[in-house]
Structure 1
Amino acid sequence: MERSGPLAFLQLVGAWTLAVVFPFLHATGRETPFYIAHGATGMRLVVFVVVATLLPPLVAFCAYLLLRRLLGQVVAGRALTATLAGLIALIALPLVARGPLGSPLGAAIVAVLTSAGAFAILVGSAVARRTLALCAAVAPLALLQFLAFSPARELLSARSGGDTTRQVGAVSEKPPATPGRSPPTVVLVVFDELPVHALEDGRGGIDRSRFPAFHGLARVATWYRFASSPGSDTYVAVPALVTGLPPDPDRAPVAASYPSSLFTRLRGSYRLFAEEPETVMCALPECERSGQSRGGLQQLLIDSAIVVANLISPPGLRDRLPRVDQTYQDFLDTAGGSEAAAAEAGRDDEGRLQMKVLNRRGGQALGRPVSAFRAALQALPRVARERPLFAFLHIELPHVPWQYFPDLGRYRAEPLGMIGILGDRWGTNQSQIDQERPRFLFQTGAADAGLGAIVARLRALGLWDRSLVVVTADHGSAFTPGRGRRTPTSDNFAEIAGVPLFVKWPRQKRGRVENGPASTLDIPPTVLAVAGLKADGLAGSDLRRGIPRRTRLTLTPLKGKKVSLSFATFMRQRAALAHAWRRFANGGWERVSTAIAPPALKAAAAAGQARRADALGLRILSLRWRRIGRTPPSPPDRRELRRAQAARRTGAAVVLNVEVEHGPARLRWIGVVAGNRLIGAAPVYEWLGRRFASITSFGAPVSTRQLRNLSFVVR
């Protein structure tokens, strides 16, 4: 079967485009955050999509030419036809419906039969081969649609890496000259996915035992207790708090879409520094950065391959792939499977929630959010005498995946470990959702540690006292059964909209609390006013002049409908949240797990009904106590701790097994008991035939800065 070189190449391009390129570009063209998270904007984006379209067919074509030279036309032609048939099978796989053919075995059968049929047709029909070559015309059409008509087109004007493209329509102003005075340094810190009620202690204040940095900030700054965000997603909320304009989900979160922002208005009189892990709102050449990589080409290729695998796989196989519905990058780090999908429905019929033991590894990397944050702190410049500093720090904490302890120590939970959730939507089982709250609170403690590091850095640079420091979050996160974490409804509005907003004015020494309807939209006009610049045409108001009157609040999601709620209803929801979360508040970190341990487990421990592990048929394979935090305990705590450790060495600490019914779900809990005191508890999950548990200690007399984690495996 003689085949010309150009025909073979066009066939490969056509089959590759139909099987992989077109579905990939169609899906990611609407998900611009995927490319922003990887730093693929501007010419990098163009080069990536062009290379991804042409390089694999070119490599396959070169292999075909090499085979033809070494083994002859017949062998090379058959190998080429087999490759084309395999690509055609990939086109058919996503069409397999749920049911028997959606299982891995059914998908394999479909793939084999489709490949065999396509092979036979291509071998015997010249018309089929020429038709496949004509499909190569889809490649330039797919590229044109992606680069010119999809939402991703807005990324072409965004700065990437060392690009020095200036923002279109950039406006810069200089403050009016005031003898003897210069504009203050401005530091804007934005946490990610942090609802303000998680910081509260149940009495209307900030929980000092768990969040000392936020508590310390509240003592010297103005806390706008009922502040809200107008956006429920980073990609609409961050542009709003940088520009002062209402969220617009039709705009990409890049500078080209927002020609006027704090960066463009302050550029003439301020030195600019920006740490933007998820947006590109500062594309000015003078905007300094930490230089922290967003993952690079290798990470983009890995994540793109995972996206393609999810697109072309039938449901039965897709459920076994790393999930791509919870973050926009590092999918291998947030993998999940079919058991997680079953948990979303509130069921654990086979007891196979895929959750490995939370295992802290001393040599493990910090993780991108913490490493990027630390790099930004180190790169934070000193104020030049002739120009003050405007620093924008977006910190991806406590955003999922939840994998940090309050001391910024990292553990791994593979898969993601967020049981009871599929994508962004919680299931209906409240007990499963409650099991995730401690992990969320731990990571919120990590955010507090980050804030403490920022304050310490500003003090070390001599900037703290005379600076305007604004600390907020882009949006919150909901824990409402049957609802999305960031999908606003009238039920979870306050969970998502309610965000912390602290403003430390220059030389402010004493904190105060404001209860009005402040908004993150008020940040840009406030910053501009303090800098001595005009703030015309913005949706918010200067908070120095008081909180504007807002009778209704609106949340805008990245996808879906806007939700509006009266401010009075918002305040009532906030009060209800404070009451509901009160059982998680106060008492330091050792009491976090107490809130979720079932009453039957606590009662059995109090009554002294514990049994030894071997009596239950359980075998402890490993038992490790791990320390978090470096602050030594007080002398009384140390004596109590020695007694507890001695009890464990003599066998007084035993394992208690309790099975608890939660509706259709049946959960087994393991408890560790010293004497008649329950000092640790956790649910047990099965994975690959083994049961795993991670026990967080509580009730044991340890310092509030010494959260101890007991990890073991039972079978």
Structure 2
Amino acid sequence: MSRVILPPSTPPRFAPPSEEDDGATDEPGTLAKTGAMPLWKMAGILLGLGAVSIGQPLLDLLGQNPEFFIAHSLQSSGIVVLMIGVLLLPLLLLIPVWLARLVSPTFGGAVFLITVALLVALLAANAIGRLPLTGVWVIVLSVGVGVGVGLLFMASDTMRSVFAFLTPAPLLVAALFVWFTPTSEVLFGEISPDGIAVTGVENPVPVVLMVFDEFPVASIIDAEGNLLTETFPNLADLADDGVWYRNAVGVRQQTEEAIPTILSGIAADEGSIPVASDHPRSLFTMLSATYDVDAVETVTDLCPHDVCGGTTRSVAPIRRRWTGIGIDVGVVYAHVVTPDDLDGFLPRIDGNWGDFGAAGAPPNGVEQADGDFNIIERFLEGVEDDRRQEMPRFLDTFDQDDDARPPLRVGHFLLPHHPWSYLPDGRVHGSGGAPGADGTGWGPDEWLNEQGRQRHLLQVAYTDSVIGDAMAGLEELGIYEDALIVVVADHGITIREEIPHQRIIYPDTVGSIAAVPLFVKYPDDWEEAPEPGTIDDVRAETTDIVPTIAGVLGVDVPWETDGLSLLDPARSERTESTMVGTGGPVTFGVDGGEKLEVARGMAEWFPTGDPYELLPDRSFADLVGTTPDVAESDEVRLSLDQEETLADLDGDSEPWPSFLAGWLVVEGGVVPDDALVAILVNDRVETVTRVYRTEGDSARFQAFIDPDLLNNGANDVEAVMVGTLSEPGPPVR
């Protein structure tokens, strides 16, 4: 029987194509040849190209901002895991390529080239975006570069070889991130209190330091500088029991620098990281040998783990935390590659250290939930994003029955920091962002800006109640009378028309940013304490707190501080103070007049400090409290967003509809920009508001009413039009 001998160059017809040829033609420049590349080569190219187009810009930005990792409670191992995940992320792009290859090498080649073109376009966008071009041109040119390089990749063996040289790029990017960014301090920094801790405390009284955030002293005083005692009764009680340092200022604008400054007495260096390794000298380490030390830290990690046990931060379950981190990293990278003039749809990242996905990017005047500067939610994931749980958690740290040492407790509370979510009694009102907000600052409409201040004041009133809870809790623990208690804020906030940034210190925002509350209750039986109820108007600075604590305890601070004891007469020799902010240092005098200027402006809208007394014009105060006749109109129509909730209100429900919003429509007409709306509860006028965001025959309005006006079940709440600011009129519905 004869045999057919096939030529050696001819593969058997039943032999499967190898990964090398996979049915590809030897003709250079074909999709099939590209698709027949070994998968390991494709993986190397994607890893290298992804490292320079995604990994390097993203890790460089995050590496320069280690606060991101601190806010997400990431220790060294977590940071390394995140870095590896970012660098390996491009491998996911190999999945559609592999699936396409199962169909045919040509299809696989096409998908791989599209992937290469996409990564090249992202790399090009990062570079071209720095040129003075519009966003559209940046996109067009970046896509063009991506397509062009992709075609060259298909047509040229040389280009494919060039791309192969990028394979080691992930290692280089990782090395730059680990060793040459500020995050290296978080990765490798260690601190021991040895040599810093003091011994032989002469007066070992309990020490309680509570730091509040974004809290200007101007929000709690009247035009003459007197404490608004009816609105803030707990602060008034604290002032009666101790000393109110009415002329106190912070010296660092940024929280990440202000908190270490308060805890060390040393003005923090610009760009320093709020971790123990960057700030080894602190109240925590100074008293670690003689005190039972614990803390609640929300955005810092300043208490060394061998002192506080690594339990000062509230940490969410691992799946929830990493989901949030993944979302935030994606938002950050989107900002990296999106042209500045086209990134308005992205959540903002300029005021947060996390939870960017929840921050949103609302246009001016649009209501939103938990909008700007949403620094809070990610920080408080462990308590389900609820800042109301922070003080109970703080008081729980005192439960150390087996420790005979006196307690040192430090709490940093993100109150009254925005988002401004709470009513004075702690219920959520659900108003979302203030309509006057304009990016990082405030727009030109003073009325809308004051509606923002109203939210702020409501939350300040809630902060007052939290301070009251702390005082009551310390009383119950039996340590209030004996304790040294310090209540202070890190910085304030500016609410004023056409301010470009509400958190930056400028020469004309000293009164709202630098001037902060500072109250000290000295131990009751300490003979050197000032008379309770003293108001001290000598300039005090936040660097003075640690020297003051040391003085009361009878120890020397084992390092040189920038501050003085609040009991040191030398404070009166100060002639100026300086706050360092992101816009540079601002130096100002010591008379404290700046805060009074802010308070006078606030008093024009809130004469007694009551957050519910806001009106578009004080002349409408006569209308509030009346029960007017309301005329019917075929042209005017008003509706409330909360009508359904108000019809059957559950006393335990949140948000509580103390915040009301709705639409005013004038059929066949135009709503005037200064149209006024009165809110009636049980036919009685409770407040008057002005419309905004007018759109022809319709406009939005919003207002707050006292929550105690509402009851369980059905509530009779109505909005009626009462003319305009220029021409007030009788109520119509």
TM range (shorter): 0.7 to 0.9
Which of structures 1 and 2 has the bigger CA Rg? 2
- Looking at structure 2, the residues matched to 573 and 188 of structure 1 have their Cα atoms a distance apart, in angstroms, of 26
2:513 to 471, 496, 516: 496
Cα separation, partners in 2 of 1:375 and 1:129, compared to 1, 3 Å: farther
Match of 1:518? 540
Maintained 8 Å contact 2:285/2:307:
no
Maintained 8 Å contact 1:323/1:336:
yes
Deviation at 1:586, TM superposition (A): 5.8
1:9 to 43, 47, 57: 43
What amino acid sits opposite 1:59 in the alignment?
A: L
Deviations 1:435-470 (A, max 9, x none): 211011112122112212222221222221111110
- Looking at structure 1, the residues matched to 555 and 312 of structure 2 have their Cα atoms a distance apart, in angstroms, of 27
Identity of aligned residues (%): 24
Match of 1:233? 254
Maintained 8 Å contact 1:240/1:246:
yes
2:575 to 528, 531, 551: 551
- Looking at structure 1, the residues matched to 698 and 86 of structure 2 have their Cα atoms a distance apart, in angstroms, of 41
For the residue of structure 2 that corresponds to 1:122, the secondary structure is: helix
What amino acid sits opposite 1:531 in the alignment?
A: L
Deviation at 1:120, TM superposition (A): 2.8
Match of 2:330? 305
Gap runs ≥5 in structure 2:
1-32, 372-380, 526-530, 653-662, 722-732
Deviation at 1:188, TM superposition (A): 0.3
2:344 to 319, 339, 364: 319
What amino acid sits opposite 1:518 in the alignment?
A: A
- Looking at structure 1, the residues matched to 236 and 410 of structure 2 have their Cα atoms a distance apart, in angstroms, of 22
Q: Which has the larger displacement, 245-254 or 496-505? A: 245-254
- Looking at structure 2, the residues matched to 383 and 494 of structure 1 have their Cα atoms a distance apart, in angstroms, of 44
**How does 1:162-561 map onto structure 2 within 5 Å?**
166-167=191-192, 171-176=196-201, 183-288=204-309, 289=311, 292-293=314-315, 296-315=321-340, 317-337=342-362, 339-340=363-364, 353-356=365-368, 367-382=385-400, 386-413=404-431, 416-417=433-434, 419-423=436-440, 425-480=441-496, 481-507=498-524, 510-535=532-557, 536-546=559-569, 548=571, 549-557=573-581, 559-561=582-584
> Whose relative contact order is higher, 1 or 2, with alpha carbons under 8 Å and at least 6 apart?
1
Q: How many residues align?
A: 645
- Looking at structure 2, the residues matched to 682 and 567 of structure 1 have their Cα atoms a distance apart, in angstroms, of 39
Q: Which has the larger displacement, 247-256 or 184-193? A: 247-256
- Looking at structure 2, the residues matched to 320 and 579 of structure 1 have their Cα atoms a distance apart, in angstroms, of 37
Deviation at 1:66, TM superposition (A): 5.8
Deviations 1:159-183 (A, max 9, x none): xxxxxx543766212124x6xxx60
- Looking at structure 2, the residues matched to 490 and 593 of structure 1 have their Cα atoms a distance apart, in angstroms, of 28
Cα separation, partners in 2 of 1:202 and 1:560, compared to 1, 3 Å: closer
2:596 to 555, 559, 575: 575
Cα separation, partners in 2 of 1:53 and 1:701, compared to 1, 3 Å: closer
- Looking at structure 2, the residues matched to 76 and 492 of structure 1 have their Cα atoms a distance apart, in angstroms, of 60
For the residue of structure 2 that corresponds to 1:396, the secondary structure is: strand
Q: Which has the larger displacement, 572-581 or 109-118? A: 109-118
Maintained 8 Å contact 2:121/2:146:
yes
For the residue of structure 1 that corresponds to 2:186, the secondary structure is: helix
Deviations 1:363-386 (A, max 9, x none): x99634334444333344346552
Cα separation, partners in 2 of 1:380 and 1:693, compared to 1, 3 Å: farther
What amino acid sits opposite 2:415 in the alignment?
A: L
Match of 1:697? 705
- Looking at structure 1, the residues matched to 143 and 479 of structure 2 have their Cα atoms a distance apart, in angstroms, of 66
- Looking at structure 2, the residues matched to 51 and 447 of structure 1 have their Cα atoms a distance apart, in angstroms, of 40
For the residue of structure 2 that corresponds to 1:491, the secondary structure is: helix
Deviations 1:668-694 (A, max 9, x none): 55333577846342534479x996543
Q: Which has the larger displacement, 611-620 or 451-460? A: 611-620
Deviation at 1:64, TM superposition (A): 4.2
What amino acid sits opposite 2:512 in the alignment?
A: E
Deviations 1:374-409 (A, max 9, x none): 433334434655201111100001112222222222
Deviations 1:12-34 (A, max 9, x none): 11222232222212222222222
Maintained 8 Å contact 1:192/1:395:
yes
- Looking at structure 2, the residues matched to 628 and 600 of structure 1 have their Cα atoms a distance apart, in angstroms, of 35
For the residue of structure 2 that corresponds to 1:24, the secondary structure is: helix
- Looking at structure 2, the residues matched to 30 and 334 of structure 1 have their Cα atoms a distance apart, in angstroms, of 22
Cα separation, partners in 2 of 1:627 and 1:327, compared to 1, 3 Å: farther
1:152 to 183, 192, 201: 183
Q: Taking structure 1 as the reference length, what is the TM-score of the superposition?
A: 0.80
Aligned-pair Cα RMSD in Å: 3.9
Structure 2 residue 79 is the aligned partner of structure 1 residue 37: no
For the residue of structure 2 that corresponds to 1:454, the secondary structure is: helix
Gap runs ≥5 in structure 1:
159-164, 341-352, 631-653
1:78 to 95, 99, 110: 110
Cα separation, partners in 2 of 1:141 and 1:228, compared to 1, 3 Å: same
Deviations 1:74-94 (A, max 9, x none): 433332222222222223445
- Looking at structure 1, the residues matched to 71 and 568 of structure 2 have their Cα atoms a distance apart, in angstroms, of 37
Deviation at 1:65, TM superposition (A): 4.6
Cα separation, partners in 2 of 1:149 and 1:711, compared to 1, 3 Å: farther
Cα separation, partners in 2 of 1:195 and 1:410, compared to 1, 3 Å: same
What amino acid sits opposite 2:242 in the alignment?
A: A
- Looking at structure 2, the residues matched to 31 and 413 of structure 1 have their Cα atoms a distance apart, in angstroms, of 31
Q: Which has the larger displacement, 480-489 or 91-100? A: 91-100
Deviation at 1:430, TM superposition (A): 3.3
What amino acid sits opposite 1:156 in the alignment?
A: L
Cα separation, partners in 2 of 1:451 and 1:602, compared to 1, 3 Å: closer
- Looking at structure 2, the residues matched to 322 and 545 of structure 1 have their Cα atoms a distance apart, in angstroms, of 48
Structure 2 residue 646 is the aligned partner of structure 1 residue 615: no
Q: Taking structure 2 as the reference length, what is the TM-score of the superposition?
A: 0.78
What amino acid sits opposite 1:505 in the alignment?
A: Y
